[in-house]
Amino acid sequence: MNRNQDVVLKPLITEFDLKVRVGNLVREIADDFNGDKLIVIGLLKGSFMFLADMVRLFYVHNIPLLIDFIVASSYGAGTESSGEVNMTRDINTDIRSKWVLLVDDILDTGRTLNLVSRQLLKRKPAVLKTCVLLDKPDRRVIPFQADYVGFTIPDKFVVGYGLDYDSHYRELPYLSVVSFKNRNSES
Ligand code: PRP
């Protein structure tokens, strides 16, 4: 974006539809779970809202949990991935022989989940499942299939419910598509 452009947000998925889908996803995961404890690992920052909603529902399903976070980032200030994933925080939970659920907001090129999953698998969890709220299969660069997907969406830049554009809009309780409009052009 440059100084002569305004950000335009167009609603994509409502708060209600998110709630229904997250509820169904958690039910599906709870049905598959067959361990003594689930270790839920969130990829920050984007997953924070999705993960917070999920863990409250795991509680309803009586799934015992440990929660930890990894910080990884591949985007700079714009809408394009830099292509390089930086992991700046690791978990400090022992996942050996445990059921692990790795949660992210969006699966895009596949670089982040591919890298982080490979790192976690080296620690020999009993089971590693991946869960993303959004999947953009058209953008894939590295083949990666998440075990649980909330919504499959087209190749549009999306913000809200944890996802940002240039560090903004993460707090929106719904998802919107971002576009840009020139300030000087009337439409
Ligand atoms: C976003 C998103 C995913 C990743 C997906 O993170 O949260 O982690 O990109 O993209 P990929 O499939 O192309 O790797 P981002 O780098 O924007 O960091 P953030 O979570 O702090 O917003």
* Per-residue pLDDT tens over the stretch 148-167: 999 999 999 999 999 999 99
| 168-183 tens-digit pLDDT | 999 999 999 999 988 7
Q: Are 136 and 107 in contact (CB under 8 A)?
A: yes
pLDDT(79) > 70: no
| Residue 9: per-residue pLDDT | 96
Residues 62-88: b if buried by 16+ CB within 10 A, e if exposed: ebeeebebbebbbbeeeeebeeebeee
Q: Are 3 and 180 in contact (CB under 8 A)?
A: no
Q: Which residue has the higher pLDDT, 5 or 113?
A: 113
Q: How far is the CA of 27 from the centre of ligand 1 (A)?
A: 25
pLDDT(111) > 90: yes
Enter the tokens of residue 147.
């075990």
Q: What is the dihedral of CA 165, 77, 53, 51, to 10 degrees?
A: 150
Taking residues 114-121, report their average pLDDT. Answer: 95
Is residue 108 part of the annotated active site? The answer reads: yes
Enter the tokens of residue 151.
């919504």
* pTM metric for this prediction: 0.93
- Regarding the beta carbon of 157 and ligand 1, being less than 6 Å apart is answered no
Is the Cα torsion angle 124, 126, 132, 138 positive or negative in sign?
Answer: positive
| Residue 186: per-residue pLDDT | 52
pLDDT(36) > 80: yes
* Residues 6+ away with beta carbon under 8 Å from 107: 113, 132, 134, 135, 136, 140, 144, 146, 149
pLDDT(140) > 50: yes
Q: Are 180 and 6 in contact (CB under 8 A)?
A: yes
CA end-to-end distance (rounded Å), the chain:
18
Q: Are 149 and 135 in contact (CB under 8 A)?
A: yes
Q: Percentage of residues in the chain with pLDDT exceeding 90?
A: 84
- Regarding the beta carbon of 15 and ligand 1, being less than 6 Å apart is answered no
| Residue 183: per-residue pLDDT | 79
Quick one: which atom of ligand 1 is closest to the CA of 144?
A: 12
Share the mean pLDDT of the chain: 93
Q: How far is the CA of 7 from the centre of ligand 1 (A)?
A: 20
* Angle in degrees, 0-180, between the axes of helices 48-60 and 15-32, rounded to the nearest 10: 60
pLDDT(81) > 70: no
pLDDT(1) > 80: no
Q: Is 166 left (phi over 0), alpha (psi -120 to 50) or beta?
A: left
Check 90, 108, 138, 147 and give the catalytic one: 108
| Residue 187: per-residue pLDDT | 46
